[in-house]
Amino acid sequence: MNHLKPNDFGPVIEADRAHVWHHMMQHKPLESADPRIIVEGRGLHVWDAAGRRYLDALSGGVWTVNVGYGRTSIADAVRDQLVTMNYFAQSAGSIPAALFAEALVEKMPGLSRVYFNNSGSEANEKVFKMVRQIAQRHHGGRKWKILYRERDYHGTTIGALASSGQAERAAMYGPYPDGFVMVPHCLEYRRQWEVENYGERAADAIEEVILREGPDTIGLLCLEPLTAGGGVIVPPEGYWQRVQEICRKYDILLHIDEVVCGLGRIGTWFGYQSFGIQPDFVTMAKGVASGYAAISCTVTTDAVFDLFKDDTDPMAHFRDISTFGGCTAGPAAALENMRIIEDEKLLDNCLTMGERLMERLEGLKSKHEVVGDVRGRGLFAGIELVADRTTKEPANEKLVQKVVSEANARGVIIGMTNRSIPGLNNTLCLAPALIAKSDDIDTIADAIDEALAATFGK
């Protein structure tokens, strides 16, 4: 660990308590308890200011550090780039941006243009603005509405929250802009229709919303490839193919939000690729540079890009700027991050270790009645906890939080659906780095096993 001793961090802890506003947490308890300060990371492990070591099964708490901590080659790439050329607005190009854009679209057949931003929320906002501009210039102001899915999440800004199907995330931040319309979720475990082919039926529900709103008013369907923070939901067989058919039938652009799944999280470069679909927009952020620098990308097709090319109209181009989209650290880190994933064959490792993870989690389901459902792909998994398997009554949220705390006490950091869906914040979430080995998977599963027993009894 860092050469500093736990006692050396006293001033840091007090500075944090006095001045830092942390994300997604209530600060009242910090009046009498120390905030957690993470001071070092290596591989899958982090250390806090008290000297405690944890296996991080969340890749930085929010599914970001895909290639693990302590990658000196990424830090070196960023340092070398910054001393050469640190920043210039994206009205001009830069070497790492051009090279990363080229390398990225090589992994994304059918897509060709990359717009650089600095957060997933911002990447999604760019899509919404593009769609609204397309509606004004090419559809007479029609096809301006944006469809989004119940339980999906697309970011923290007002526009992104307007497109997020998580009521607790959106609560108290309205009123929201018009034109955002929700479609039903596709979680088969909590199915809304008793039919043989649930996947197709869930997709048909999207068409029903389109027909209700009017197909000539819908410009975009925005979906996560797997619903992430809404409970790690893998769309059922038949869903994605039918979604693609519906979008093409009604001339609706398809936007896949890969902020979580992008760059290998489920064993393919992008989540949509594992389902055999071809989107018009793909957004990404977290794993693009594994948290070593801020970067997000809005990627689209030549067909969309060409809609903004018209030198006879001064209002035709995309009149937008992302200030820190011009920072060269992001694409420099992203290039090295991509090289690591390729050279270390981390996509293959993700699939192999993902199989082991699901096998261990299924074992927990057999052992613990409180485990109602286990789902996921690659190194992204959810464990839905229930009070009763027959009725599927969700486990009490405070008890789910206790499982997280018990795992943490055993040196493993896991997560859960967090103040997102009223009454359904009952899914444990796992997303270890793509470098995870068998022993790491077993350590995670063993800690959850013990945490479940400590919380609910054997």
pLDDT single digits (tens) 373-395: 999 999 999 999 999 999 999 99
CA distance 458 to 203: 40
Angle at 282 between CA 22 and CA 171, to 5 degrees: 40
Domain-wise residue ranges, the chain? 6-65+346-456, 73-343
Q: What is the mean pLDDT of residues 186-200?
A: 97
| Residue pLDDT, tens place only, 45-61 | 999 999 999 999 999 99
CA distance 193 to 191: 6
Dihedral angle sign, alpha carbons of residues 5, 8, 12, 13: positive
- Asked whether the predicted pLDDT for residue 298 surpasses 90, the reply is yes
Superfamily of domain 6-65+346-456: Aspartate Aminotransferase, domain 1 (3.90.1150.10)
Question: Would you say the CATH fold of 73-343 matches that of 6-65+346-456?
Answer: no
Say how many CA atoms lie within 13 Å of 91 toward its Cβ.
6
**Interval 255-282: pLDDT, tens:** 999 999 999 999 999 999 999 999 999 9
The DSSP bridge partners found for residue 380 are 377
Banded model confidence at residue 457, pLDDT cuts 50, 70, 90:
confident
303-308's contacts with Cβ under 8 Å and 24+ in sequence apart are: 304/113, 304/130, 304/134, 304/253, 304/280, 305/112, 305/113, 307/134, 307/137, 307/138, 308/130, 308/133
Q: Which CATH number fits domain 73-343: 3.30.420.40, 1.10.760.10, 3.40.640.10, 3.90.1200.10?
A: 3.40.640.10
